[in-house]
Amino acid sequence: MSSPPRNRARWLIVAVMVAGLPRAPPSAQRRQRHAGSTGECRPWRAALVAVVSAIAFASALSCAGCYDFGALAPVDGGDDPCAASSVTSGPGILVAGCVIGAPPLIDGKLDDWSAAAFTVLDRANAAFVDGTASFTGTTAIDDADSSGSFAVRWDLNALYVAVKVTDDVRGLHPTETHYWLDDAVEVFLDGDGARTAGYNSDDHQLIVRADGQMQETRNEIPVPLPPGTVVAVAVASGGAASWTLELAVPFADLGDAAVHGGRELGFDLLIDDDDSLNTSDRKHLLGWVNLLAGASPCPAPYCSTAAFGRVVLGGR
């Protein structure tokens, strides 16, 4: 490991202090010692400055990977938790961006997310579709009816999820206790990535309704929300009933595994679309991944974490 930044700072301070020492007039003894020399008399101080400066410079170069989490400047010289990951996003695999600087503000507004980080989920690429008959087959019409995109980021404290939903009619019925029957987004997390058939304490199905209300079910049974989980939604432009959401789930709710780059978690996401004004009646469901497609008796993420795709904690 390269030398800690505090040490580098001390070297630099020493170098500056030494460089700033006043030059003492040469003593008679020193003058005598150098008398008759034909070469340049190099003072000891200049040599020391050169050595110290070289060490400080080399130290600074060798610490390019020293970062504190979330900080752009080296602070304590520890390993960089946002070191680049060799994993790349692909079908069923999403690389979560490492938070650099401040974590996203959970206010439902996604101006603190990079547009490039979002993965599209629409009728054309959804692995799991319900309500197929009510799609028209015309991409523009179907995407305006129900589509979206999502992104995931992380820091040492939490996993952050952002979703953009495009919708044409708000189907929201606050008295409905089954949130997935209204306009909602379902986020599925398998903290230890164990892909168990049943949900364990590190596994979550979080259902966020378009009014910002959130419900958790585990093995299809409502349970208390994970402690510290925060969600916010906002109305988005782009459609009459389009909306965005932001979610932060503390890693404390995602099992005991250490939080570090390269960690894999099970992850999935569904968009529920209810276009009924009077009663809850889900019209469409779009799911990112469903590895249990065709299985029985319940081939869906809400039955088994084995159906999930995965998210990998990535680097900067």
Does residue 112 bind Ca ion (CB under 5 A)?
yes
Smaller CB separation from Ca ion, 155 or 273: 273
Neighbours of 230 (CB within 10 A): 15
Stretch that binds Ca ion, among 72-80, 116-124, 131-139, 171-179 (CB under 5 A): 171-179
CB distance 271 to 185 below 8 Å: yes
Does residue 216 bind Ca ion (CB under 5 A)?
no
Does residue 122 bind Ca ion (CB under 5 A)?
no
Question: Which is nearest to 70 in space by CA: 1, 156, 152?
Answer: 156
Q: Which of 275, 285, 286, 304 binds Ca ion (CB under 5 A)?
A: 275
Report the nearest approach of Ca ion to the CB of residue 210 (Å): 8
Neighbours of 99 (CB within 10 A): 20
CA 164 to CA 239: how far, in whole Å? 11
For residue 276 the two structure tokens come to 């009924």
Q: Which of 155, 203, 216, 268 binds Ca ion (CB under 5 A)?
A: 203
Does residue 168 bind Ca ion (CB under 5 A)?
yes
Report the nearest approach of Ca ion to the CB of residue 244 (Å): 9
Report the nearest approach of Ca ion to the CB of residue 162 (Å): 7
Single-letter residue type at 209: R
Stretch that binds Ca ion, among 2-10, 15-23, 108-116, 147-155 (CB under 5 A): 108-116
C-alpha distance from residue 146 to each of 7, 115, 122, 288 (Å): 56, 19, 7, 13
Stretch that binds Ca ion, among 24-32, 80-88, 168-176, 291-299 (CB under 5 A): 168-176
Say how many CA atoms lie within 13 Å of 253 toward its Cβ. 20
Q: What mask of x and - would describe binding to Ca ion in positions 75 to 104, judged by CB under 5 A?
A: -----------------------------x
Smaller CB separation from Ca ion, 156 or 306: 306
- Write out the binding residues for Ca ion, residues 13-32 only, by CB under 5 A: none
Smaller CB separation from Ca ion, 74 or 104: 104
CA 78 to CA 66: how far, in whole Å? 6
Stretch that binds Ca ion, among 38-46, 56-64, 72-80, 275-283 (CB under 5 A): 275-283
Q: Which of 58, 80, 109, 315 binds Ca ion (CB under 5 A)?
A: 109
Q: Which of 142, 155, 167, 268 binds Ca ion (CB under 5 A)?
A: 167
Report the nearest approach of Ca ion to the CB of residue 224 (Å): 18
Does residue 146 bind Ca ion (CB under 5 A)?
yes
Residue 274 bridge partners (DSSP): 282
Give the DSSP letter string of 141-182. HHHHHEEEEEEEEE-SSEEEEEEEEEESS----TT-S-GGGS
Report the nearest approach of Ca ion to the CB of residue 177 (Å): 18
Smaller CB separation from Ca ion, 59 or 229: 229
Total residues belonging to the chain? 316
C-alpha distance from residue 206 to each of 75, 133, 217 (Å): 36, 27, 7
∠ CA 11-17-23 to the nearest 5 degrees?
Answer: 140
Smaller CB separation from Ca ion, 51 or 298: 298
CA 183 to CA 275: how far, in whole Å? 8
Residue with tokens 């259902």: 207
CB distance 77 to 3 below 8 Å: yes
Q: Applying CB under 5 A, which residues contact Ca ion? A: 104-105, 107, 109, 112, 145-146, 167-169, 171, 183, 190, 192, 194, 200, 202-203, 273, 275
